Amino acid sequence: MKIQKEQRVSISPDVLFQEVNGETVLLDLASENYFGLDVIGTRVWGLLELGSSVGEMLDVLMAEYEVERDVLEKDVGALLDKLQESGLITL
């Protein structure tokens, strides 16, 4: 995914989620599929819940983790792609 910093991401209304021990379990009611997010994926999901733009999300993550910006953009883009392909979010 080519990151567009002003882009907003919406969580699908068909997704239920629960944080468990620092990780998040997602249930897509439409497909009845479960998904799991690790600690960093859980942090990204939390920022999505707040309605952060992609750029705001990247800025927060840059402040919290020691990572190069281009690596972060690539990894977050890949996660957002997977979430979108699974119908869990819309851009």
Residue 88: how many CA atoms within 13 Å on its side-chain side?
A: 22
Confidence at 2, pLDDT banded by 50, 70, 90: low
Domains of the chain by residue range: 12-90
Three-class SS state of 67: coil
> Tens of pLDDT along 15-37?
999 999 989 999 999 999 999 99
The DSSP-derived string for 50-61 is TT-BHHHHHHHH
Record: fold of 12-90: Arc Repressor Mutant, subunit A (1.10.10)
pLDDT (tens digit per residue) in 36-84: 999 999 999 999 999 889 999 999 999 999 999 999 999 999 999 999 9
Averaged pLDDT for residues 6-22: 91
